[in-house]
Each structure stands twice: as structure tokens, then as C-alpha cells.
A = this chain, B = another copy of it.
């Protein structure tokens, strides 16, 4: 309930690592995994997603790895969350255009609008926190 997924935590960690190690060489998934003591493969996937969303840039091959694509103060935690979590929303009905599919109670529901307001405020918490602030 209102918990951050490990995926997001790993993305924060990885981005943080890249921000702190921007000197010349590319940082690898393995390197990051060992530094934070987390699964190599999970970090690898998260990095791939960060790359896809232009938060990081990647280089393949033996001396390959990742670097950040922007300055740490230009990347918000919101950017990272949105990149990594397809389902970041307080309720199901906030994803697609609301239908019976997304929530069977949508008909009689009277808390949708207030919750949308809450959602915005929570979004803002993450929008207003840059990667730089968690270094």
C-alpha cells in the first residue's frame, strides 16, 4: 500500500551512482550492482529502461556501460518513476480512459475526483525532487 517498488528503488540507486561517477569511464551494471549489493540482472534491466527514456546513454561492448544523459539537477525522481513504472497511479481508473474494465465500481464512485487531486500533489513531491537532491 503506497509502497515504492524495488524496481524504482534500484532505478534511484542506479541513477544516483551514475550521477556520482561521471568521470570518464562508463559505469557498468555489474559495478553498480556490487556497489549497492543488489542483483546484477535487475540493475541491468533498470538501466536499459533508463536508457530507453533518455535519462541515461549506453555503450555496448567490452568497455561499455552507462552515463547520465542530463545533469543531476535536470532529472527529477518523477522522470525516473515514469520511465520505470508503467503503472504509477493511485487507482486503476486513472490510467486509461476510465471504463468498466479499469474499475467495476466506476459507476457509483464519488471519490475519483478528489483522489485525482491527491495524485497531482504526490506527483509534485517527486517532480520537485531532483536527482541532485538525493546524492
**Interface of A with B (CB < 8 Å)?**
1-5, 7-9, 12-13, 16, 35-38, 77, 81, 85, 87-92, 104-105, 107-111, 114-115, 118, 121-122, 125-126, 129, 133-134
Contacts and interface: CB of A to CB of B under 8 A. Distances in A.
B1 A110 contact: no
B111 A118 contact: no
Contacts of A133: 114
Contacts of A90: 2-4
A13 B110 contact: yes
A111 B13 contact: yes
A87 B36 contact: no
Nearest to A13: B111
Contacts of A8: 1
A76 to B, nearest CB: 12
B126 A118 contact: yes
Given A16-B110, A129-B118, A38 B105 contact: yes
Given A3-B89, A77-B118, 20 more contacts: A1-B3, A1-B5, A1-B7, A1-B8, A2-B2, A2-B4, A2-B89, A3-B87, A3-B90, A9-B91, A9-B111, A12-B115, A36-B105, A36-B110, A37-B104, A37-B107, A111-B134, A118-B125, A118-B126, A118-B129
